[in-house]
Amino acid sequence: MYRLSDSIRTAHHAEGGAVLDIEHGRMFALNTVGSRILELLKEDLKEPEIVMRIASEFGGDFEVTASDAKEFIERLKEHQVIEERPA
């Protein structure tokens, strides 16, 4: 399970979203899939549930979606956008 870091602010729109890290002065643009993954993370869904939803909503191959989602979540952790929390 993950949660947004305290210094993160997000905005979502039809074409994607934006992430603002007010502590480090960084901003990240998200495409529609990345924005949706971040929204699902904020809903406390586990990674397998997120992958199933993304594959279903965007019509992607499950294996490719799983790999891409895992990599995206790892990047969010590396950039301190999200942090792991106990289940």
Range of the domain at 17: 2-84
Number of domains in the chain: 1
Q: Which residue bears the tokens 């993304």?
A: 54
Q: Residue 31 sits in a domain of what CATH number? A: 1.10.10
pLDDT at residue 87 in the model: 63
What pLDDT score does 86 carry?
75
- Global pTM value: 0.90
Helices (H), 1-87: 32-42, 47-58, 62-78
Per residue in 17-69, pLDDT (tens digit) is 999 999 999 999 999 999 999 999 999 899 999 999 999 999 989 999 999 99
Contact assessment for residue 44 and residue 1, using Cβ atoms and an 8 Å cutoff: yes
Choose among 71, 36, 77: nearest CA to 54: 36
Judged against a pLDDT cut of 90, whether residue 85 lies above it is answered with no
